[in-house]
Structure 1
């Protein structure tokens, strides 16, 4: 008989309590680039079809009370997170999403840019969610858990800052909420958290290929883009294949909520493979690390947990199975920062990766400092923007490596052309 999968509800409870009590790392916008954006990570627990609900109280439940409810702790309850698929992404999204495979689609979180009259990042996340998918996060059905660390959105291989992104986590605290009303060009995908964090069925990792020419060459110069593509190749980013849930939500009387189907937010019928990558994957991994990694106090008190944390692996390894990125020799990204494993690409040409390693000394020093902070106190020093420093030093190495590779390729082509000319006409 097959073993029943372990519920991720306790892990979700631990994660949300930790997020609520952990101050996020706030990145101030520089005067030269004041633009900011915010997104919403919306989580719900889908009750079992056989769940029995008690009459609702007039007072909203607290986070602790929510995870004590019988229908939440039912073994058949299914925690889910909401992703969306935009047919017409924002300009900065499309710049990052020049995927070569048309059978792939990029999923993300609802959200967008902060407007001048917004009261703050939380207001922006709630406003953009309402405008984009019709979910009112100010209603009693939802509660804001807290904020994850700010993230920097860059372009031109990390050289230019576009904006600062603030992710906010929300939880649906009722078994049923009004159905979303997404824009016609947006498809919603509720995805089981067990498919992302589970030792029984770890997530399926893949890659997203992006033409390096889209980052290096002008948009309107086709010849130069083709030349750069031939010289440099493509960039391959880690990605998780998203598998949306196939079951609809249930209403308080235990019956399927047909409005969910009518709104068209179930799994898309297109034969596209949904991939979670880039910043959205980084934010998801931030959430997942809260679900898996032990709290700092438990790591100091539990010698076994400390041994695991300080060894060659961490508790997140069997649950998430992070891809190739290790950051530096002897350093595991699942120990230092799981989300960092999703940000940096590999190149399709091995010599490009070699030269990135040659010029990546400063990047490796930053990661080692980050690791020392994590291992020393059980958590990283939140006064230091480790992820921003790693991002800037890594892409600085990339830019140097690409200069060397392009020059070497150009010299090789010139030498080959000269040799061929001599061979043909000099004999």
Structure 2
């Protein structure tokens, strides 16, 4: 798995995603840090007498035996429970909103990581690898922009990981999760939340509550996390909240924006893994059925676009005289001249693009229409049933 991660990080370092400018009506930006480490195998630890200086580049780092036999892990945090916080108790990466004093989004990620978990990403033992695609975060089913999220990837390069110091007001716990487990289909699940959470404050309370009752909950694709090591903010006020509520199992579930960022990384290592991800829907069966039917064509087109984007990026990066590239389900030998032709056809894929962003493009427009169509259908059906009952009652007299 270390070898596979090496290819991902090399690709990201060579081809970082471009910065996404904030829209005029939403200038808020936030940055997060996706931090990798290699958990050494006890059989391949460097001897205590060895002096291991931090690697200054990916080549040096991945050439070390303890790295080659180690297990990559990714750092997640569980945010503290806070009233009024949109992301309360969510599993996420360390990060937060960009301050006016932050010169760049990258520096925001570094500052937030230090503040939240005490990890200094500017130390000699850390490599700043690259920039994943920015994304505009929206709510109210994709109509109201909240902020632009900027994800950055870092790599710890020493066998000993610095001790994490959690900021209990913001972070309830931190977890090192084996990277390989995120690819396991058995850990795929769903996460549900109240519809009102998706509507922000744009609509009145009565409308939100009515929709919540009518539509049930929103259901999102998710992954259950199985950490290798966890650190808890035992001094935080919500440390014993699950126990006090009678909950003795508090599973870590990754979903939403953070899962979308992780899916982008996973797709770089294993193209097609995003097939395990599914579009958001509702728990109400009729709403779910209408959305599924109405969005069928769009989902098929977006799947195709996402696959073509991956192929386009692959083609752009071919530099040898002859290369082997998987352009379908079979390996094909491609001459340099053919690569140049294909590259001209794939100029739109030149810059790395979020796979999940491609998949959901236009989807929430259909969700909104399908929801109102379903509610209208319920009203018409209900009116017809009531009218039929009244008609029969009146005809009996």
Whether these two folds match at TM > 0.5 is yes
SS of structure 2 residue aligned to 1:282: helix
TM superposition shift of 1:88: 2.6
2:172 matched to which residue of 1? 186
1:381 is matched with which residue: 325, 328, 349? 349
1:345 lines up with 2:280 in the alignment: yes
1:414 matched to which residue of 2? 383
Q: Distance in 2 between matches of 1:158 and 1:196?
A: 27
| Inter-CA distance 237–261: structure 2 relative to 1 (3 Å threshold) | closer
| Inter-CA distance 214–413: structure 2 relative to 1 (3 Å threshold) | farther
Q: How does 1:160-309 map to 2 (within 5 A)?
A: 160-184=144-168, 185-197=171-183, 202-216=185-199, 224-246=207-229, 270-293=248-271
TM superposition shift of 1:236: 1.4
1:397 lines up with 2:383 in the alignment: no
Q: Distance in 2 between matches of 1:58 and 1:366?
A: 46
SS of structure 1 residue aligned to 2:30: strand
2:2 matched to which residue of 1? 9
Q: Distance in 2 between matches of 1:238 and 1:274?
A: 14
Deviations 1:85-137 (A, max 9, x none): 1123695643xx7xxxxxxx641111011111211111000001111111111
1:107 is matched with which residue: 91, 97, 110? 91
Q: Distance in 1 between matches of 2:60 and 2:200?
A: 55
1:67 lines up with 2:98 in the alignment: no
SS of structure 1 residue aligned to 2:56: coil
2:331 matched to which residue of 1? none
Q: Distance in 2 between matches of 1:83 and 1:71?
A: 23
Decide whether the 8 Å contact of 1:231 with 1:409 is kept in 2. Answer: no
1:52 matched to which residue of 2? 46
Decide whether the 8 Å contact of 2:40 with 2:67 is kept in 1. Answer: yes
Aligned length: 350
Deviations 1:221-262 (A, max 9, x none): 66644532343232211111100115x8xxxxxxxxxxx799
User: What 5-or-longer segments of structure 1 have no aligned partner?
Assistant: 1-7, 98-104, 249-259, 294-313, 324-340
Q: Distance in 2 between matches of 1:46 and 1:370?
A: 32
TM superposition shift of 1:278: 0.9
TM superposition shift of 1:369: 4.2
2:126 is matched with which residue: 125, 142, 150? 142
- Which TM-score applies when normalising by structure 2? 0.77
Q: Distance in 1 between matches of 2:141 and 2:233?
A: 42
Deviations 1:318-359 (A, max 9, x none): xx7x43xxxxxxxxxxxxxxxxx35x3122234334433426
Decide whether the 8 Å contact of 2:306 with 2:359 is kept in 1. Answer: no
SS of structure 2 residue aligned to 1:412: helix
TM superposition shift of 1:377: 6.0
Q: Distance in 1 between matches of 2:25 and 2:207?
A: 30
Q: Distance in 2 between matches of 1:366 and 1:112?
A: 30
TM superposition shift of 1:285: 1.5
Decide whether the 8 Å contact of 2:139 with 2:200 is kept in 1. Answer: no
SS of structure 2 residue aligned to 1:180: coil
Q: Distance in 2 between matches of 1:411 and 1:289?
A: 44
Decide whether the 8 Å contact of 1:217 with 1:225 is kept in 2. Answer: no
Q: Distance in 2 between matches of 1:287 and 1:63?
A: 17
| Inter-CA distance 91–364: structure 2 relative to 1 (3 Å threshold) | farther
SS of structure 1 residue aligned to 2:362: helix
SS of structure 2 residue aligned to 1:196: helix
Name whichever structure is richer in strand by fraction. Answer: 2
Q: Distance in 1 between matches of 2:129 and 2:269?
A: 14
Decide whether the 8 Å contact of 2:40 with 2:66 is kept in 1. Answer: yes
TM superposition shift of 1:44: 0.6
